[in-house]
Structure 1
Amino acid sequence: MSDGIARRGLLLVLSSPSGGGKTSIGRALRVTDPNLGLSVSLTTRPPREGETDGKDYHFVDEAAFLAAVREGRLIEHAEVFGARYGTPRAPVEAALAEGRDLLFDIDWQGTRQLREALPEDVVSVFILPPSMAELERRLRARRLDDDATVTRRMSRAAAEIAHWDEYGYVIVNRDFDLSVGAVRSILAAERLKRSRQTGLAHFVAGLLA
């Protein structure tokens, strides 16, 4: 709700090549924004160190994932680096109806499907690295991947960046704090859109009564 006015929720999508900053920016947004929840995806990849089932992802096997696809329980799904990822439909629809916003950390494939399913609810932001050299430096600094995986991620990065023009907003992540502030500004403006403030007509009628 904005100023006590009922509002439909929105779906904030952050996409970038691996190492571009989408996960860190999203985490920083959620620290200061209690109305921004995280969409928890299903995935067939194994948990990384520190990840918790049900909090970071719903970790499932291939059979369970494919069953969710067949039964229409996923609003979008894609395969990335040999693992499957997908967004459960029910929690997304519930959040929108209740005026809660959800953050999505997904790639261009998932974003395209999400936009096709809920075109009026998606706010999409693509995060570009300042250079490919800096992107590789950030990937190596994370110390999450071996050399072969970093090379594979870098080879995929150009293909992901090629979809930048499918997004409503684009940010070059030169400075982390400035990038977080930019996304926060986008979120604030999108929440105030007249079309999202479903209780606005009632509020104005009360003003004029």
Structure 2
Amino acid sequence: MTHDWTDLPGRLVVVSGPSGSGKSTILRRALEYPGVSARLSISATSRAPRPGEEQGRHYHFVSREEFEAARDRGEFLEWAEVHGNLYGTPIGPVMRALERGECVVLEIDVQGALQIIHAVPSADTIFITVPSLEVLEARLRGRGTESEAVVRRRLENARRELESIGLYAHVIVNDDLDRAVAEMAALLAGAEPRGDDRDA
């Protein structure tokens, strides 16, 4: 099933970054900024809910079988398998929001972002990173919620994701959370961030 994404009045924004880069925190805070009128797309996932996560608010939680059936019917704008779980962006809600002229933000990994860049060339892309892999490792270990094997796997994934940074239109370095949030808010509001230009 093919969809025509040209000439839609809305704006599609893709946000990616390695696990531990702070992308979820930055994005959620930026969406609350004055002047930012954007909504976060809710992904579907085959993984189990984590404590505090709500069905339909954080994710659409489905079984692996349900996810694979929807994928095979062409119902996802993008999908990927990450850390053994399936994640995908349902096409319907995104398309309807763009038709209404809304700004829709997808918080997805690099695998999914590459699919979006191919399918929707007009999409705006933002990559959130950290000053170094050492900082990333410290953040992941600081969570204290994951095993050594999981930390190592996330770091290896981060190295691979960083190789795709040049494909993104904007890069935000999260070395100062408040500044990173302000940069993200400026991009979502449709303006270039003030101050030093990290995209140069």
Q: Give the shorter-chain TM-score range.
A: 0.7 to 0.9
- How high is the TM-score relative to the length of structure 1? 0.83
Which residue of structure 2 lines up, in the alignment, with residue 38 of structure 1? 40
What does residue 72 of structure 1 align with? 74
* 2:25 counterpart of 1:47: no
Q: Which structure 1 segments of 5+ residues have no match?
A: 1-6, 192-209
Check whether the contact 1:125–1:169 (CA below 8 A) recurs between aligned residues.
Answer: yes
Counterpart CA distance in 2 for 1:12 and 1:29 is: 13
Secondary structure at 1:140's aligned position in 2? helix
Root-mean-square deviation (CA), in Å? Answer: 1.7
Deviates more, 1:27-36 or 1:16-25: 27-36
What percent identity do the matched residue pairs reach?
Answer: 41
Moved over 3 A (4+): none
CA distance in 2, matches of 1:21, 1:148: 21
The secondary structure found in structure 1 opposite 2:87 is strand
1:149 partner SS? helix
Give 1:140 deviation, angstroms.
Answer: 2.0
Amino acid of the residue matched to residue 116 of structure 1? H
Q: Is 1:97 paired with 2:87?
A: no
| Per-residue CA distance 1:83-111 (angstroms, 9 max, x = gap) | 11000000000111111111211011111
The structure with the largest alpha-carbon Rg is: 1
> How much has 1:78 moved relative to structure 2?
0.6
- Find the counterpart in structure 1 of residue 86 from structure 2: 84
Residues 106-144 of structure 1, C-alpha deviations (whole Å, 9 max, x = no match): 011111111222221x11111111111111111122233
- Secondary structure of 2:190 counterpart: helix
1:147-186 Cα shifts (integer Å, max 9, x gaps): 2211211122101111101101112111011111112222
Residues 33-67 of structure 1 show CA distances to partners (whole Å, capped at 9, x for unaligned) of 56211111111111111111111111111111111
**TM norm structure 2:** 0.86
Q: Does 1:139 align with 2:134?
A: no
Quote the offset at 1:13 in angstroms.
1.5
Alpha-carbon deviation of 1:190?
A: 6.0
Aligned counterpart, 1:130:
131
| Whole-angstrom distance in 2 between the partners of 1:29 and 1:112 | 23
Distance 2:156 2:115 in 1: 24
Return the alpha-carbon distance in structure 2 between the equivalents of residues 165 and 178 of structure 1.
22
Where 1:154 maps in the other structure, the secondary structure is helix
Q: Which residue of 1 aligns with 2:190?
A: 189
Residue of structure 2 equivalent to 1:3: none
Aligned residue in 1 for 2:195: none
The equivalent of 1:13 in structure 2 is 14
The question of whether the paired residues in 2 share the 8 Å contact of 1:26 and 1:103 is answered with no
